[in-house]
Amino acid sequence: MACFRPFRHPAAALLAAGLLLPAAAAWPQYRGPQHDGSTPETLRTNWTARPPVLVWKRPLEPGWSSPVVADGRVFTQLRRFARGGQREFAVALNAATGQELWAREVDDASYDNLAGYDDNLDGPRSTPSVDGDRVYVFTSHLKLLALRADNGAVLWQRDFMAEPPGTSVIAWQNAASPLVMGDFIYVNGNVPGQRLAAVRKADGVTAWARHDLGMTHATPAWAVIAGAPQVVFVTAQGLAGLAPASGDVLWRYVFTPSSTSTAVTPVVAGDRVYASAAYGRGSWNARIVPAGGAFSAVETQYRQATEFQNHWATPVHHEGVLYGIVERGAPARSLVCYDLAGRTNRWRTTAVGSGSPGFGSVIKAGGLLLVLTEEGELVLVQPDPERYVELGRFPLLTRHCWNNPAFSGGRLYARSSAELAALDLAPEAAPLPPLAVSAGLAGEPRALRFSVTGQDRPLPADAAGRLELASTSALPAADAAWTPVTAAFTVQDGVAEASVPLPGGDTFFRVRTRP
């Protein structure tokens, strides 16, 4: 049971502000903190005994942009009516509540070719990237912007279609997300003769722009192969691994992907690189090995079959195999386990959760797979190279779920063409010990400092996020009469401490473990 002790101090009641989640865990870019669709964060697996908890769900305007999460905020891109027309916006939401914090108009939003679907569902496809106090946005029409993460103010912007004249965007517009690593942002700006580019994140100035390799809808990948960092692009002429600092080509694997759309990010697993494209193309697999001071693509293989092609959801790697969604003749889309070394599917299933995976997506958290189906069902899957092993399922969203989810701070953030939701999947923590609480005056200007210890053992480090400070103006007080107080606890040597401004009237305080 949660323990608390009320405190009385001559003070005015403290009013709670909208709390942001702590910044400890982040999913700051498309495909997560490790650029591979995974996070080491763990999650609970006993969904029957302790089902996932819906924290919030809200309507959201159309867009295929995925959510990213950092510093208590969720960022994404969407289409919104403004200034008499449809415009593309970057938005920030409070990760704790789903409340919109700011919205920044970034581009025109004209979508009229969502073949086989309602064009009113269409929207931006690129996902923002968060780095420190900035958000980097690559729009449908090749504008690159740096925004302040706290208020969306524009710090700098580039327009690749205006430099030089003749640059154009491909059909269905840009879907690639900006890859931020070190001092640079890596994009394919599709500028003739210098399409692949590194832009300085500090000021938007081009560090290098080289190579006449046409753009696709695929986001580039960051990789370290044989000890060498590199940026891997899927271009209209195949795979290219580039030196991050100079843009020098380290290796090429030449092939022709789909002329309609190639949207899957290349997957790098050790010395193997995998790429895929839909519309009757298939998958490409190569080993990249050092060769004469550079690299060479060897053991290349092309598999032209629907059971080896991903449409736009990138597979995730786990212990030598890829788990991803392929097309095996519409509508029979399947979750497969693809063996990178054997270059074939170990198994395939069209039944994921209560139905088909459709155009869903797969991420990995704590070594487990989270499959979000096109119909909005979240399915927990145990990676197993021999068979499909389902651990749990949860109905989460409606409409079309073509967006990759994000996982941060024990929560899954998932989006469809109509909704955005936060789902609590945090593992069950060991109970905190009974609490002993003291309070006193500290600092200039004067503040009220709370110290919390365990009565029979020191508090663990994660207690900082599990303690709740609240206030009320009179006792006794029902639970609903206690108002949460903005206070960030820190834990050092088994003691949790937090300070609040010194109030000025009669106020009672309590500290307890969060329910």
Lowest mean pLDDT among 26-35, 43-52, 134-143, 434-443: 434-443
Mean pLDDT within 382-406 = 96
Query: Which CATH code fits 7-21+432-513?
Result: 2.60.40
pLDDT at residue number 6: 40
> Tokens 């970034």 sit at which residue?
106
Q: Is the dihedral of CA 212, 213, 214, 219 positive or negative?
A: negative
Mean pLDDT within 453-470 = 86
pLDDT at residue number 13: 28
The 10s digit of each residue's pLDDT in 42-63 is: 999 999 999 999 999 999 999 9
Is the pTM higher than 0.85? no
Separation between Cα atoms, residue 248 and residue 243, nearest integer Å: 5
Band (445; pLDDT cuts 50, 70, 90): low
The 10s digit of each residue's pLDDT in 140-151 is: 999 999 999 999
pLDDT of residue 372 exceeding 70, the answer is: yes
Contact 52, 425 (CB under 8 A): yes
Band (73; pLDDT cuts 50, 70, 90): very high
pLDDT of residue 463 exceeding 90, the answer is: no
Which percentage of the chain shows pLDDT scores above 90?
Answer: 71
Rounded to the nearest 5°, which phi and psi values hold at 449?
A: -105, 130
b/e string for 451-472 if b means 16 or more Cβ within 10 A?
ebbbeeeebbeebbbbbbbbbb
DSSP-assigned letters across all residues of 7-54: EEEE-PPPPPP-PPPPSSS-B-STTTTTTSSEES------TTTS--EE
pLDDT at residue number 505: 75
Band (23; pLDDT cuts 50, 70, 90): very low
Contact 182, 200 (CB under 8 A): no
Contact 275, 269 (CB under 8 A): no
Separation between Cα atoms, residue 323 and residue 339, nearest integer Å: 9
Separation between Cα atoms, residue 315 and residue 218, nearest integer Å: 13
